[in-house]
């Protein structure tokens, strides 16, 4: 039996071809076949290509449905196909196993074509189980705004599962090592036959690691894992954003039976700054100026990450105007962002006597040439 024939199973409803119900008896199938075979036989339809192809179709249907074993397999394939492999694409079979055809001539690639993304990039073919890996862990640290901008190295203390110090994470007593799991032969998975399909399940003995511990370590009881506090130095890159995660490879939970450990992720919380905000790689700051500075123009001092700089506010600057100071922002790939300075005209809450007098004079001058506001004087 070759792949093309099996492939046809997915595409052709042989019951329909023979015109019998799915629960037809062997005798009914035989009877239906005989009738159709006679009708479309090439001897009875010389030169009729249509009849010839119908005859072939009817013969193929009978080859499968007329054979008890083949019919059983055909039904299973059709049921599987109809159920979309028992769930959402990528979901695969219950138990997280993989599926493959028992028939060595059937190419899994054909199945992949038929079921689209079902097989995805994973489980295509007959590769060995991935060795069980320890879980990833996460912790969080807070850094000052300035440190996040300049980059820094922060000590992190983290309490959680870590490789046992007695056995080095293997779970095996000192002087011994984990051995190949006898149940799965080290593959980490065992086969479960489902008729024509063969599903693989994670091995129950070794939980997929492919290895077992015969003489457990006394300290960790064979798990290879112990809860303890570890200290790390975490390098925080310049310009790091709030919420970014830094990966410490291999610092996560130890893998079972000495398997590969997971990673430890350190989430960075950047403390807010007193006056700097952030928009992507640009920094923001609100700069208060006086009415006189905005109206007459002035050189004002603006704080930046590297100390104050002088910025020119031109005469007649409106409230809320944004100025961009190039390269005074956060570090980004290939350079630095800008500092966006939003000018805000401040109304003084308290006035000195000379200020008050000057403003009254200004008010008197304004009354001599009143400006229309909102259509009224
Ligand atoms: Zn096993
Ligand atoms: Zn141990």
Select the more confidently predicted residue: 198 or 246.
246
Select the more confidently predicted residue: 377 or 296.
296
Q: What is the 3-state secondary structure (H, E, C) of 287-329?
A: EEECHHHHHHCEEEEECCCCCCEEEEECCCCCCCCEEEECCCC
Give the pLDDT score at 115: 39
Q: State the distance from the centre of ligand 2 to the C-alpha of 171, rounded, in angstroms.
A: 5
Q: State the distance from the centre of ligand 2 to the C-alpha of 177, rounded, in angstroms.
A: 11
Q: State the distance from the centre of ligand 2 to the C-alpha of 241, rounded, in angstroms.
A: 39
Give the pLDDT score at 215: 93
State what percent of residues in the chain have pLDDT above 90. 53
With a CB cutoff of 8 Å and minimum separation 6, the contacts of 226 are: 161, 162, 163, 164, 165, 219, 220
Q: What is the rounded average pLDDT of the residues 234-261? A: 90
Radius of gyration of the chain (CA): 38
Of 185, 56, 82, 80, nearest to 128 by C-alpha is: 185
Question: What are the pLDDT digits (tens) for 162-177?
Answer: 999 999 888 899 999 8
Q: State the distance from the centre of ligand 1 to the C-alpha of 185, rounded, in angstroms.
A: 6
Q: What is the rounded average pLDDT of the residues 45-56? A: 88
Q: Which of 119-133, 151-165, 277-291 has the lowest mean pLDDT?
A: 119-133
Give the pLDDT score at 70: 87
Q: How confident is the prediction for the chain on average, in pLDDT?
A: 83
Q: State the distance from the centre of ligand 2 to the C-alpha of 228, rounded, in angstroms.
A: 13
Give the pLDDT score at 260: 86
Strands 322-325 and 309-313, sheet pairing: unpaired
Q: At what angle do helices 68-82 and 49-65 cross, to 10 degrees?
A: 100
Q: State the distance from the centre of ligand 1 to the C-alpha of 276, rounded, in angstroms.
A: 57
Instruction: Say yes or no to pLDDT of 93 above 90.
Output: no
Q: State the distance from the centre of ligand 1 to the C-alpha of 144, rounded, in angstroms.
A: 49
Q: State the distance from the centre of ligand 1 to the C-alpha of 202, rounded, in angstroms.
A: 8
pTM more than 0.75:
no
Q: Which of 7-11, 113-117, 163-167 has the lowest mean pLDDT?
A: 113-117
Select the more confidently predicted residue: 92 or 325.
325
Question: What are the pLDDT digits (tens) for 288-300?
Answer: 999 999 999 999 9
Q: State the distance from the centre of ligand 1 to the C-alpha of 131, rounded, in angstroms.
A: 11
Q: State the distance from the centre of ligand 2 to the C-alpha of 348, rounded, in angstroms.
A: 70
Give the pLDDT score at 194: 67
Q: State the distance from the centre of ligand 1 to the C-alpha of 165, rounded, in angstroms.
A: 25
With a CB cutoff of 8 Å and minimum separation 6, the contacts of 222 are: 171, 172, 213, 216
Give the pLDDT score at 193: 72
Q: Which of 132-136, 150-154, 229-233, 357-361 has the lowest mean pLDDT?
A: 132-136
Q: What is the rounded average pLDDT of the residues 99-104? A: 39
Q: State the distance from the centre of ligand 1 to the C-alpha of 96, rounded, in angstroms.
A: 16
The closest ligand to the CA of 221 turns out to be: 2
User: What tokens does 373 get?
Assistant: 């506001």
Q: State the distance from the centre of ligand 1 to the C-alpha of 58, rounded, in angstroms.
A: 47
Highest mean pLDDT among 73-87, 158-172, 190-204: 158-172
In whole angstroms, what is the distance from residue 79 CA to residue 119 CA?
Answer: 18
Q: Which of 44-53, 176-185, 228-237 has the lowest mean pLDDT?
A: 44-53
């Amino acid at each position: 039996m070759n792949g093309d024939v099996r492939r046809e199973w997915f595409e052709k409803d042989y019951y329909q071809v023979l015109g019998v119900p799915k629960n037809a008896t062997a005798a009914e199938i035989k009877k239906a076949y005989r009738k159709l075979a006679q009708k479309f036989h090439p001897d009875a339809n010389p030169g009729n290509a249509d009849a010839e192809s119908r005859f072939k179709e009817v013969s193929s249907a009978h080859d499968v449905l007329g054979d008890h074993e083949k019919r059983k397999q055909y039904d299973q394939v059709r049921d599987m196909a109809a159920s979309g492999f028992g769930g959402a694409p990528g979901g695969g079979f219950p138990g997280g196993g993989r599926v493959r055809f028992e028939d060595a001539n059937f190419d899994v690639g054909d199945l992949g074509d038929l079921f689209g993304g079902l097989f995805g990039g994973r489980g295509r073919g007959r590769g060995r189980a991935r060795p069980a890996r320890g879980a990833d862990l996460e912790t969080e640290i807070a850094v000052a705004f300035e440190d996040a901008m300049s980059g820094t190295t922060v000590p992190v203390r983290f309490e959680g599962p870590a490789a046992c110090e007695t056995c080095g994470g293997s779970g095996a007593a000192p002087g011994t090592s984990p051995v190949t799991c006898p149940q799965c032969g080290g593959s980490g998975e065992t086969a479960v036959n489902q008729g024509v399909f063969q599903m693989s399940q994670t091995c129950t003995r070794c939980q997929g690691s492919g290895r077992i511990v015969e003489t457990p370590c006394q300290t960790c009881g064979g798990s290879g894992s112990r809860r303890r506090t570890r200290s790390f130095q975490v390098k925080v890159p310049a310009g790091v954003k709030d919420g970014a995660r830094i990966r410490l490879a291999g610092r996560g939970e130890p893998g079972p039976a000495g398997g590969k450990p997971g990673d430890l992720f350190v989430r960075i919380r950047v403390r807010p700054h007193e006056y700097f905000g952030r928009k992507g790689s640009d920094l923001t700051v609100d700069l208060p100026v006086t009415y006189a500075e905005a109206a007459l123009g002035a050189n004002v001092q603006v704080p930046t990450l590297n100390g104050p700089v002088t910025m020119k506010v031109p005469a007649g600057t409106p409230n809320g105007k944004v100025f961009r100071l190039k390269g005074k922002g956060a570090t980004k790939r290939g350079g630095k962002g800008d500092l966006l300075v939003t000018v805000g005209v401040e109304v003084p809450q308290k006035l000195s006597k000379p200020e008050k007098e000057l403003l009254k004079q200004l008010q008197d001058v304004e009354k001599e040439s009143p400006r229309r506001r909102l259509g009224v004087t």
